[in-house]
A = this chain, B = another copy of it.
Amino acid sequence: MSKYSFLDDYSEGCHPNILQALVDTNMSQQTAYGNDDYCRQAKDLIREHLCTDDTPIYFIAGGTLANLIIIASALRAHESVIAVSSGHIELRETGAIEATGHKIITVPPVDGKLTVEAVESALTSNSHFPHMTRPRMVYISNATETGTVYTKAELQALSAVCRSNNLLLLLDGARLASALTADINDLTLQDIAALTDIFWVGGTKVGALLGEAVVIPNPQLAIDFDFHIKQRGALLAKGRVLGLQFLELFKNDLLFELARSANESAQKLAKAATDNGFQLAATTESNQIFLILPNSLIEHLQERFEFYIWEKVDDKSSVIRLVTSWATDESQVQLFIEAMAAANEAA
């Protein structure tokens, strides 16, 4: 019997609605390169959430690709991006941003998040012009790389510091659906469009086979954006594959429903952990859970489950990371909880 994986939120294929739509539309002839009916309809559905008719939207096959296209399109060669040192573009993209010629200026995160103070400090320490790059963009992720979620007040403050310092604000939304359905969230997609210059809504981690939707509220950043999609190799011949998925995900807000379900599984696991006397290494705000467990229990759990051992706490315990998703099997969550409870009783 193989193990059940809580390793990530992209271990399965896609939501059944998407599969069905692929089947239903398969032999329809469509214009290539994203000029098909499904892309058009998906964009309209997304724009309903933004309460606009014409915000430019593009679909791109992956997050690193989206980030590098956005940054390469938006910045002149001497301009740089401010990000937290735990940011995806800094830590997990193999120098993709630098490969387009741009420096990333890193600052320490607070709870995984970028703060106004950190932006101001980056501006101060990067002002010896022209011997330093000109900071021109701020990059944040929501949810963050450690699963925390920005509040409206936090995003408003970041947006304000950006606007008063001529900085563009980019929001990486690989797990945006998860953030927007978190218990502590008070932001809407419309807020995000109002407060950022460009952002993207991830599909891959919330039930799509692949695909992210780049939304460009700042019209200046939309100029010739499609050239950059093509130049970086991201213009799919069958763009319909991306459009169709976002059409399904935004139909009846399926995307948010799936994210909410993932968050609820995370809350169950987090609550069960504390109920059984185990500590959380970080507050569970979206679909990532960081638990401190005894090593003996970890070894026991590893017989039936896959998950990351995040870091050592002391000789007897470690932090593990669990990720829940749209596809999480609730019976497996239950088994995991029972194993924690049994361990607690035995102790």
Contact = CB atoms under 8 A, between A and B. Distances in A.
Contacts of A19: 22-23, 26
Interface string A42-70: 00000000000000000001101111110
Interface residues of A, number: 76
Interface of A: 2, 4-5, 7-8, 10-14, 16, 19, 22-23, 25-32, 61-62, 64-69, 72-73, 76-78, 80, 91-96, 98-103, 128-134, 204-205, 209-210, 224, 226-238, 240-241, 327
Contacts of A95: 78, 80, 101-103, 132-133, 231
Given A10-B32, A25-B13, A130 B65 contact: no
Given A22-B22, A234-B65, A32 B8 contact: yes
A248 to B, nearest CB: 14
A102 to B, nearest CB: 6
A337 to B, nearest CB: 19
A238 B96 CA distance: 19
Contact of A227 (B73, B134, B224, B241): B134
A13 B73 CA distance: 30
Contacts of A327: 27
A228 B93 CA distance: 10
Interface of A is mostly: loop
A235 B29 contact: no
Q: How many copies does the complex hold?
A: 4
Pick the most buried of A25, A80, A94: most chain B CB atoms within 10 A of its CB: A94
Given A95-B102, A232-B232, 10 more contacts: A4-B29, A61-B210, A62-B233, A65-B233, A78-B227, A94-B230, A96-B231, A131-B230, A209-B238, A209-B241
Pick the most buried of A29, A32, A68, A77: most chain B CB atoms within 10 A of its CB: A77
21 contacts: A4-B29, A10-B238, A11-B30, A13-B26, A14-B22, A19-B22, A22-B209, A61-B61, A66-B233, A73-B76, A78-B231, A93-B131, A98-B133, A129-B227, A130-B229, A130-B235, A131-B230, A133-B231, A204-B237, A209-B238, A209-B241
A130 B99 CA distance: 15
A12 B29 contact: yes
Contacts of A99: 72, 77, 100-101, 231-232
A122 B342 CA distance: 41
Contacts of A62: 61, 233-237
A228 B78 contact: yes
B230 A96 contact: yes
B11 A94 contact: no
A13 B32 contact: no
